[in-house]
């Protein structure tokens, strides 16, 4: 079944912590995903976050639970087979999904961070037996805030984050979604990690898929271009690795409680 990673791709993923596959989805399929994303951006919901200006949509979470299109694309072999291969089992589900909007001129940064910091400490996920698959809904260029990654940084495991103390409070999870992230990578760690490996800029055509490790250090700058840079990210987790949240845990749209294994089903847009 088409979609599976070659041995070489899998090795690159293991060694670098990411893999960029160009033009996995056809233009018509991308159009269909974009239309579904824009429909979700219009819906007022706690799962929708805005930029610092209080108006511009920043992201919508849990799109795989609120849209038929995204519910279908996550089962497509081009998504699910690589997830199976990387996690090492056919028994995976979506821990979190989101569609970042990165609007033209308004789309703000995602500071450098490791996803697993949040999944481990906030959600109670034990091991990083998970993988992110991001579908580029627009071409990513050097001008529109492409995802940046530090190659090999996933091998460091979780680092001590720089912590912006935003207080505990019942809604402290809001600081995991804003331009001022609660846990970020310290500048000295970024300097050390990137000194040899440099930084990889995931620029690619729309429809490309970026796979990246839950522990890889990544972030993105602002969108200085006149065109939106939208991206849908799906975090596949091993069913046996379902988090046990401390206390009530974060809202379901950030940390799924449903761990039914996904069944393969081809999607054609």
Stretch that binds its own copies, among 7-15, 66-74, 77-85, 220-228 (CB under 8 A): 220-228
How do 110-113 and 200-201 pair as beta strands?
unpaired
CB of 103 to its own copies, least distance (A): 9
Specify the residue, 65 or 201, whose C-beta has the smaller distance to its own copies.
Answer: 201
Specify the residue, 105 or 127, whose C-beta has the smaller distance to its own copies.
Answer: 105
Q: What share of the chain is helix, strand, coil (3-state, %, to 5)?
A: 30, 20, 50
* Interaction of residue 160 with its own copies, rule CB under 8 A: no
Distance, CA of 123 to CA of 183 (rounded, Å): 14
CA dihedral (246, 252, 257, 258) in degrees, to 10, reads -170
* Interaction of residue 117 with its own copies, rule CB under 8 A: no
* Interaction of residue 111 with its own copies, rule CB under 8 A: yes
Build a one-symbol-per-residue string for 71-110: x at contacts with its own copies by CB under 8 A, - elsewhere.
---------------------------------xx---x-
Q: Could you report how far apart the first and last alpha carbons of the chain are, in Å? A: 17
- Which residues inside 221-240 make contact with its own copies, applying CB under 8 A? 221-222, 224-227
Distance, CA of 86 to CA of 8 (rounded, Å): 13
Ordered DSSP codes for 33-47? HHHHHHHHHTS--TT
Size, binding site for its own copies by CB under 8 A? 24
Q: Which residues bind its own copies (CB under 8 A)?
A: 104-105, 109, 111-112, 142-143, 145, 148, 187-188, 190-191, 194, 199, 201, 219-222, 224-227
């Amino acid at each position: 079944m088409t979609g599976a990673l070659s041995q070489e791709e899998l090795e690159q993923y293991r060694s670098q912590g990411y893999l960029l596959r160009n033009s996995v989805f056809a233009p018509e399929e991308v159009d269909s995903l974009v239309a579904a994303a824009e429909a979700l951006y219009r819906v007022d919901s706690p799962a929708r976050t805005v930029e610092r200006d209080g108006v511009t949509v920043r992201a919508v979470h849990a799109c795989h639970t609120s849209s038929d299109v995204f519910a279908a694309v996550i089962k497509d072999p081009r998504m699910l087979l690589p997830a199976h291969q990387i996690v090492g089992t056919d028994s995976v589900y979506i821990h979190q999904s989101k569609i970042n909007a990165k609007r033209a001129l308004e789309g703000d940064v995602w500071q450098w961070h490791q996803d697993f910091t949040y999944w481990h400490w906030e959600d109670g996920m034990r091991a990083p037996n998970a993988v992110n698959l991001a579908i580029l809904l627009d071409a990513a260029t050097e001008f529109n805030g492409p995802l940046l990654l530090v190659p090999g940084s996933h091998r460091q495991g979780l680092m001590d984050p720089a912590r912006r103390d935003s207080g505990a409070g019942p809604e402290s999870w809001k600081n995991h979604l804003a331009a001022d992230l609660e846990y970020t990578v310290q500048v000295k760690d970024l300097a050390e990690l990137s000194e040899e490996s440099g930084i990889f800029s995931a620029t690619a055509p729309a429809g490309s898929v970026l796979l990246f490790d839950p522990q890889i250090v990544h972030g993105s700058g602002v969108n200085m271009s006149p065109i939106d840079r939208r991206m849908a990210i799906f975090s596949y987790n091993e069913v046996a690795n379902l988090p046990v949240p401390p206390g009530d845990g974060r809202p379901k749209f950030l940390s799924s409680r449903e761990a039914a294994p996904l069944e393969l089903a081809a999607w054609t847009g």
